[in-house]
Structure 1
């Protein structure tokens, strides 16, 4: 079992409990319908991930081992992959063909832990290819990439959660890492905020490249999602799988 899968088994029940106890917003839609659609997408995407080692061995594993010290290689992998993820995320918003895939994630009307898993399988394939290309370019082994994989799964699970953190604690964490208060702006129906806060783990890339929306500078978003896909029928699993073709 993958390390992040163990993380999910332990972390998700804790996140759900925290969402009930420290809810950021009152959820008005049927959460169980949402959970079914989102977690079903998550299971489909896990099947894609299980097939990914085949892709690595056939196409992109480097022939030579990394010349870097293992700890340094892991740090380089962390920064390189997070920077690549930042630019890929911007690409999903900038290029129409990629946005057709990514809008499955963005048409969510409410945010909670399950939103983490709401990605179209084709988007997962594109993201995997980018990861493999970075690994091949830097001659990184899968072992050196594990710390980043665990970090991105942990941060994204928290970032999409409906949890209100202590204001001071969140501001301190947000100096380095994405938090629910920061990431909620990225899911806002207000377009300028949607096209900001692209970071997956670190907030530094948004600060450097001018795409950072500071949560202390604006009121919290009043609504989430995409107005053109705001019907309940758009949120069902079959509709989400077909959404890129619509």
Structure 2
């Protein structure tokens, strides 16, 4: 049931983002949507299936095991079941994912997998699920270890997963949010404009705005970039080492972490 709710929510948010992308696009996309979606959504479906047959439900199970054995910060020092505990668990999980995202850029062996996500030359809602299976497995194991250390309830983990998926779809979307609204939203959450900077071709811009939902970690840790020199509607995206869109198919992307790679610019 938990996985069905998550899938239903993700499909609903994705559909909404696609409608808004068509109604008010930020950038004019040049790739054919069918091919772009086939690659990105194909990877997403494969990763979902892989998780279901290998580590399905691991995050929720980790929370239940931690609670049963009194593992983790929250289970030992806070009254479980209170709304404040749920909020604390959510914030700590979000910070843990923020730290993982930084590590995925700074540690070379993690970047080999994460660069599959950044190799997309045009980002839209489908980019949110464009990840290498290796990164998905690593992320789930890391997340479960964090759950053991933090000790959030299973319900907190469930809510966190739903919000994380929804925010990823939102901040990768090709939506032009009115400036008056976007300028206020970015004080709280990572907006599509902020995350578009993270997908810039320039490393100094790529290595910023690591948050997925709230932007506070980037501001606190000084990894926040509010503006860049070029207009976001024309900002070159993707990686300088991978510019040939015709090569960036499934098999190329699956083999990418194991290929000899040029150093990052």
* TM-score, structure 2 normalization: 0.86
Q: How far apart in 2 are the matches of 1:193 and 1:44?
A: 30
Deviations 1:143-190 (A, max 9, x none): 221121111111110100000001111111111111101000000001
2:112 to 87, 93, 100: 100
User: Are the structure 2 counterparts of residues 48 and 142 from structure 1 closer, same or farther at C-alpha, using a change threshold of 3 Å?
Assistant: farther
CA contact (8 A) 1:233 1:239 kept: no
CA contact (8 A) 1:64 1:139 kept: no
Q: Give ranges in structure 2 of 5+ residues lacking alignment.
A: 260-265
* TM-score, structure 1 normalization: 0.93
Q: How far apart in 1 are the matches of 2:141 and 2:176?
A: 34
2:143 aligned partner: 131
Q: How far apart in 2 are the matches of 1:12 and 1:73?
A: 30
2:253 aligned partner: 240
- Structure 2 counterpart SS, 1:44: helix
The answer to whether residue 63 in structure 2 is matched with residue 83 in structure 1 is: no
Report how many residues are paired: 246
1:211 to 193, 200, 223: 223
2:199 to 183, 187, 190: 187
Deviations 1:110-146 (A, max 9, x none): 0101000000111011111121111111223322211
The answer to whether residue 65 in structure 2 is matched with residue 61 in structure 1 is: yes
2:170 to 140, 158, 170: 158
CA contact (8 A) 2:24 2:175 kept: yes
User: Are the structure 2 counterparts of residues 58 and 83 from structure 1 closer, same or farther at C-alpha, using a change threshold of 3 Å?
Assistant: closer
2:153 to 127, 134, 141: 141
CA contact (8 A) 2:128 2:172 kept: yes
CA contact (8 A) 1:60 1:136 kept: no
- Structure 2 counterpart SS, 1:61: helix
2:242 to 229, 232, 238: 229
1:176 aligned partner: 188
Deviations 1:64-104 (A, max 9, x none): 25353322332122111111111110100001000000000
1:14 aligned partner: 16
CA contact (8 A) 2:89 2:151 kept: no
CA offset at residue 53 of structure 1?
Answer: 4.1
With 43-52 and 181-190 compared, the bigger mean Cα shift is at 43-52
